[in-house]
Amino acid sequence: MALILVSDDNAEHASYVETALAREGHQVFVSPNGSDCLRNIKNSGERNVDLVITDIFMPVCDGFELTLEIRKNCPWIPVVGMTGRYVDTPYDYGDSLIKLGAVTVLKKPITLDELVKTVEDYLPDRTAGAG
């Protein structure tokens, strides 16, 4: 079981991600913005957070700011971005998030299989070095 923080201002989408990951056995906390997510990281004990999934565009503190803060203060936590802003735009927001330190960016709507596979791919191996 992993501790996954989800930051998304769209309550319906956040609930979808939370429910899907909880069904996979993960403990999930949802934040409506990056500032709240950063508080959750601090309150949970930074080393206990296994993965952050963040929307890019949110009020208060967006996914860009959140990713920068995580890279600066908790570089071991993988960040997966999500965005619905990729159609009919000349700018690739996902590419920008990756340049800031995200491991990948999912395009909404996200399928259950895509979400689960991405989380499995980027969860740190807690057993590495054990033995």
Confidence of residue 54 (pLDDT cuts 50, 70, 90): very high
Percent of the chain's residues with pLDDT above 70: 90
Q: Between 28 and 126, whose confidence is greater?
A: 28
131 lies in some domain: no
Which residue has 């960040």 as its token pair? 79
**pLDDT value, residue 71:** 97
* pTM score: 0.91
Counted domains in the chain: 1
Range of the domain at 57: 3-122
Nearest to 77 by CA among 49, 114, 43, 115: 49
Per-residue pLDDT tens for 6-25?
999 999 999 999 999 999 99
| Cβ neighbours around 42 below 10 Å, total | 12
75 lies in some domain: yes
Q: Between 86 and 9, whose confidence is greater?
A: 9
94 lies in some domain: yes
- Asked if residue 118 lies in contact with residue 90, where contact means CB atoms within 8 angstroms, the answer is no
CATH number at residue 65: 3.40.50.2300
Q: Quote the crossing angle between the two packed helices 93-100 and 63-73, to the nearest 10°.
A: 20
Res. 78: pLDDT tops 70 = yes
